[in-house]
Structure 1
Amino acid sequence: MGRHRHPHLPTTESAVGAIRAVAEEFHLEMTVTDDIGADQTSRRSSAGAFAVLDPDGSLPHEAFVELGGSPAITVRLYPEDDAQITVEGVVFDDVPRDAVPAFLRSCHGGLAHVKGRFFPPGWWLVVPLPGDENHRELILRGGLTPWLSAQVR
């Protein structure tokens, strides 16, 4: 205990545990790569050249989680308490780490859907979260996978 940088924000380990709970709930395979140490995090631009430890002395690290099943989802947890979630090739950046379990439940529970628009033209993947919050991202041309096509409303 006492390693939390911010008491209200989960650590990478607890975030992975929350994803694991969702994977078990939906009977999904899960692969975790979490040996990414402070010396090789992909985004550590704000730290000084020799700042390997966070101010509280803990090693910042990220984790990459792949979930089996359909839709194909990967989650990259960053040390900065946010995540990047990719659903069937559609990338959602800056998802708050504590919103990740609800995001995954929305995708696997049938709430996520695809909306088409004539202007501006395009298909959007909409992932609703509790509290009337929606994450939406444009699906690139030719990016409608069979799973995404089945979610069109």
Structure 2
Amino acid sequence: MGHTHLPSTEAAVAAVREVARAYELEMAVTDDIGADQTSRRTSAGAFAVLDTDGSLPHEAFVELGGVPAVTVQVFPEDDARITVDGVEFNDVPRDSVPVFLRSVYGGTAYVKGRLFPFGRWLVVPLPGDETYKEIVPRGILSPWLTRKIRG
């Protein structure tokens, strides 16, 4: 299953909606449209509503219900920030968002850790050779993350 090209924030949100439906998750979406509304813009001026190319930038914040707690912030710049039980993955390509979520909900994501020096990582393998790893902040070890620990 390769990556589908998601040309827009709307397409990314629709793809997340498919994953939510597949795993029977509640989903809430907040849309911010216009450069004055989005959280980070590089191509538009400080008070601009349109990007320099005349398009309306569109950012979406998606909250998925269920376990683990997941939020997806889709940025107009073709990337997203996915937070899984407090562990933040920045700069996930928008096209990778649906397969990332399937890895989390489908059971292939896991936590790997060691005692010395102490550290735990949430590892999210995607089809192909793509893997995302982020440190699990100390003190954030939800029941879901605990269940995902591998030696």
Match of 1:141 in 2: 138
Equivalent residue runs for 1:41-120 within 5 Å: 41-49=38-46, 51-120=48-117
Q: How many residues align?
A: 146
RMSD value over aligned CA atoms?
1.5
The alpha-carbon deviation at position 92 of structure 1 amounts to: 0.4
- Which of the numbers 24, 27, 38 marks the counterpart of 2:24? 27
Equivalent-residue separation in structure 2 for 1:118 and 1:16 (angstroms): 38
Letter in 2 for 1:96: P
Greater Cα offset, 64-73 or 33-42: 33-42
Give me the TM-score of the superposition, normalised by structure 2.
0.90
Letter in 2 for 1:104: L
Match of 1:4 in 2: none
> Identity across aligned pairs (percent)?
71
Equivalent-residue separation in structure 2 for 1:19 and 1:9 (angstroms): 11
Match of 2:118 in 1: 121
The alpha-carbon deviation at position 53 of structure 1 amounts to: 1.6
Match of 1:37 in 2: 34
Gaps of 5+ in 2: none
SS in 2 for 1:38: coil
Equivalent-residue separation in structure 2 for 1:148 and 1:92 (angstroms): 15
Equivalent-residue separation in structure 2 for 1:103 and 1:49 (angstroms): 33
Deviating runs (4+, > 4 A) in structure 1? none
Equivalent-residue separation in structure 1 for 2:120 and 2:101 (angstroms): 20
Equivalent-residue separation in structure 2 for 1:131 and 1:47 (angstroms): 35
